[in-house]
Structure 1
Amino acid sequence: MSTPTEVFARIREHFLANTPVFEPDQLAEDVVVEMPFAAPGRPNRIEGRREFLDFAAAGRAELPLRFDDCRNVVIHETTDPEVIVVEYELVATVTTTGRSGSAQFIAVLRVRDDGRIAHWREYQNPAALALAAGPD
């Protein structure tokens, strides 16, 4: 079974390989994904593996990114062995425009004892993301 730190390492590998970040077998069937600072018109909570995977696939199609780096990673252990808090910065290029930028994130990751993600709460700055992805 994977620890939360090992699960995040796998997520980071997917960022850098430019493959879907979450594989179906990584997510619990009843996974909850929260984005408290989601941009207007975007959901801030998604429940269920299929619902989240569909949302993520649509997002990749809507904003085609190539992740160039996942840096400044700091992992904070908690008193709950299922939970970590991760700080990281993603550097990406919009493949349709060639525009590059970076944004910082904080995520709270809960991994059940079967090694699957049960809860992912990601804090991001939508304005920084829009600026990084915006037109030249």
Structure 2
Amino acid sequence: MSEQSPRDLFARFQRNALAGRPGFDAEMLAPDVVVEQPFAPPANRRTEGRDNVVAMTRAGREALPVVFEGFSEVEIHETADPEVIIAEYRLTATVPRTGTRARGAFVVVLRAANGRIAHWREYQDTAAFAAALA
């Protein structure tokens, strides 16, 4: 994998999600990556290490019965640190068994190091997707 910027890594995350794959793949993650989801259930708020993040992401994708359709209102904010971006977006998904569509807001703080994701902190509108899955 060639050196990738934080924007490149975020775009790869988007492509993976829209292709029905887990958002993260092992090649885009630093060995000591940390993923934080402050609004997730306590057991899932912090995951450390590439293997653990890949396993968590794979299990989460398999357990989530939705088809991601698109990212909209994507805003990428540069920071004083060239290895850090803040991405705001809305993600639209459909629950195939019911046809219910949902759209949730997300904010991600992404830190890259050596062309890989070193830290990902994600804030998401969990209520929007919980309502769609109910």
Cα distance in 2 for residues equivalent to 1:13 and 1:37: 24
The runs of 4+ residues in structure 1 deviating greater than 3 Å are none
Query: By how many angstroms is 1:109 displaced?
Result: 0.3
**Counterpart position of 2:23:** 21
Q: CA offset at residue 128 of structure 1? A: 1.9
Q: How does 1:68-87 map to 2 (within 5 A)?
A: 68-87=69-88
Q: Which residue pairs with 2:95 in the alignment?
A: 94
Q: 1:42 to 1:96 in 2, by over 3 A?
A: farther
Show CA shifts across 1:82-130 (max 9, x none). 0000001110112333322110000000011x21100000001222220
Q: CA deviation at 1:64?
A: 2.2
Q: Structure 1 vs Structure 2: percent identity of aligned residues?
A: 49
Q: Does 1:111 align with 2:112?
A: yes
What amino acid is the match of 1:71?
S
Mean Cα deviation higher: 96-105 or 83-92: 96-105
CA RMSD of aligned residues (A): 1.3
Structure 2 alignment gaps of length 5 or more: none
- TM-score scaled by length of structure 2: 0.91
Change (3 A) 1:41 1:79: closer
Aligned positions, number: 132
State the TM-score, normalizing by the size of structure 1: 0.90
Give SS of 2:44's match.
coil
- Consecutive unaligned residues of structure 1, counting only runs of 5 or more, are none
